[in-house]
Amino acid sequence: MRNIVCEVVCICTAGGIQRCAGCGVAAWALNLFYRAAEGQAATVRCARFLARRFELRHDGTMSARRALLAFMCAVTLASPARAEDDEWRWGVTIWGVSYHVNKSIDYDERNWGAGLRYYIHRHVFVEADALRNSNRGIILPVSVGAEIGVGTLFSACHVSAIAAATLAYYQNPRTDSNYFKFGPVPGVAFRCGRVQPNVIAVLSPSGGPLAALVGSLTIRLGP
């Protein structure tokens, strides 16, 4: 059964995003059946199988497109069984990429960094982060936010709207200045077990409502 589940993921990712979405439901059902039979170790074995199944390029790396598609399907298939929300107080957030509306400025859209999140209440959190900003400096944000449930995705992932207020220390080498920024940060989160991809919107102070979209991944910690 393990090979069947993982082969479904590989077929999906090889066929592109549309095919991945189309067969994700069937793969999810197979994965639930297998996990119920053999427990959480299935997730680890499935990940190893996927690593062997994807061939590397001649330079020893996987193409960005395949890596992204594999990640999208793996999040849906390999999220551990749910625990009570109150048991998952802590989380680690990994930052990675952004998209900027204004293409006239040479922004760096690789925003690597990490942070620590703590849930005061099942829907309210505080978070402190350190990451590389799009002007090639460092940003140190501290946020207080809430996640408001709006629905589910494939009956497996909880979709939430994010409303946060953030105070950030910002280094801007492009203008040779350092300053503090404070403001609202809206977004959306997709919680699939312990794994929670997030997309937040950076609002523009002028010239349009949206400056950028930033992606991160929060991994819930708990029993």
Range with lowest mean pLDDT among 141-145, 159-163, 203-207: 203-207
85-221 maps to which CATH number?
Answer: 2.40.160.20
DSSP 63: -
Helical pair 2-15 and 64-78, crossing angle rounded to 10 deg: 140
Where do we find the tokens 């505080």? 126
The answer to whether the beta carbons of residues 201 and 187 sit under 8 Å apart is yes
The two tokens of residue 207 are 């010239």
Mean pLDDT of 3-29: 42
Question: Is the pTM for the entire model greater than 0.75?
Answer: no
pLDDT, tens digit, 9 for 90 and up, residues 35-81: 444 444 444 454 455 445 544 444 444 444 455 455 545 544 444 44
Distance CA 134, CA 111 (A): 7
Of the candidates 169, 197, 208, the residue with the CA atom closest to the CA atom of residue 97: 197
Helix (H, G, I), strand (E, B) or coil at 90: strand
List all residues 6 or more positions away from 143 whose beta carbon is below 8 Å from its beta carbon: 126, 127, 128, 129, 164, 165, 166, 167, 185
Residues 210 and 201 sit within 8 Å (Cβ to Cβ): yes
DSSP conformation class of 84 = -
Q: 171-218, pLDDT tens digit by residue?
A: 999 999 999 999 999 999 999 999 999 999 999 887 678 999 999 999
Give how far Cα 12 sits from Cα of 29, 47, 111, 205, Å.
Answer: 15, 15, 28, 41
Interatomic CA distance for residues 159 and 130, integer angstroms: 25
How far apart (Å, rounded) are the C-alpha atoms in residues 135 and 212? 13
- Cβ burial, residue 169 (10 Å; 0-12/13-18/19+): middle
Inter-axis angle of helices 17-38 and 64-78, nearest 10: 40
What mean pLDDT is predicted for residues 106-133?
95
Sequence ranges of the domains in the chain: 2-78, 85-221
What is the share, in percent, of the chain residues with pLDDT greater than 70? 61
